[in-house]
Structure 1
Amino acid sequence: MNAYIFLALSIVCEVFGSSMLKATNGFKRILPTIGVIVGYGAAFYGLSLSLKTLPIGTAYAIWAGLGTALTALVGIIIYKENFNSKTLYGLILIIGGVTLLNIG
């Protein structure tokens, strides 16, 4: 399987795990807590598989940058968190930084 597919699946799992953190209520709710554990476990496993082929700097930049941006979008859409111009500029800078790292 292509390393970028493993990386993409890893990002989706990381976003899921991060999104479940808010629902755990400080790890007092069992199902969201299991979601965090499974999400992060799968995310790190997928990332490790992608690192068999991809350089660590490139893979981690994509994983962390897109994971952060997508988690912020989940917060805005699902959890109704604030969205303003600073949030937009921050997301643009994250995506732009990941793009520049990949071009370089």
Structure 2
Amino acid sequence: MKSWIFLGVAIVAEVIATTGLKASEGFTKLWPSLLVIAGYTIAFYFLSLTLKEIPVGVAYAIWAGMGVVLVALIGWLIYGQALDAATVIGMALIITGVAVINLFSKSVAH
């Protein structure tokens, strides 16, 4: 169970860091740039802890998939970026894929 919490922390930290990339304006703004560096450091540290119990392919698929969906939603909410039908369908497929991995994969420690 602890590994899943670590994976959740890694996902949140990565989403914060990726969202901060836009605000950093190419690393020309100090505080957003520091947020990006701290966020990615925390994300990779907690992802590494996750890998003690969850296979790397499964952990990375969940981490990347949820990161893509959450960053796209934040881009829509905060930055007003458009999400067309193809984007929404693609994100639904990503979420479905993560659910299938979690519910049915024998690779995942349940």
| TM-score (normalised: structure 2) | 0.90
In structure 2, what is the equivalent of residue 62 of structure 1? 62
In structure 1, what is the equivalent of residue 10 of structure 2? 10
> Which segments of 5 or more consecutive residues in structure 2 lack a partner in the other structure?
106-110
In structure 2, what is the equivalent of residue 72 of structure 1? 72
Encode CA deviations 1:57-103: one digit per residue, 9 max, x unaligned: 11111100001110111100011100221111111011112222332
| TM-score (normalised: structure 1) | 0.95
Residues 1-104 of structure 1: matches in 2 within 5 Å? 2-102=2-102, 103-104=104-105
Amino acid in the other structure paired with 1:23: A
Identity of aligned residues (%): 48
Moved over 3 A (4+): none
Taking the aligned partners of 1:66 and 1:83, their CA distance within structure 2 comes to: 16
Taking the aligned partners of 1:59 and 1:26, their CA distance within structure 2 comes to: 29
Taking the aligned partners of 2:92 and 2:50, their CA distance within structure 1 comes to: 25
Encode CA deviations 1:20-65: one digit per residue, 9 max, x unaligned: 0000111110100001000000000000001111111111111000
What is the number of residues matched between the two proteins? Answer: 104
> Which segments of 5 or more consecutive residues in structure 1 lack a partner in the other structure?
none
Amino acid in the other structure paired with 1:6: F
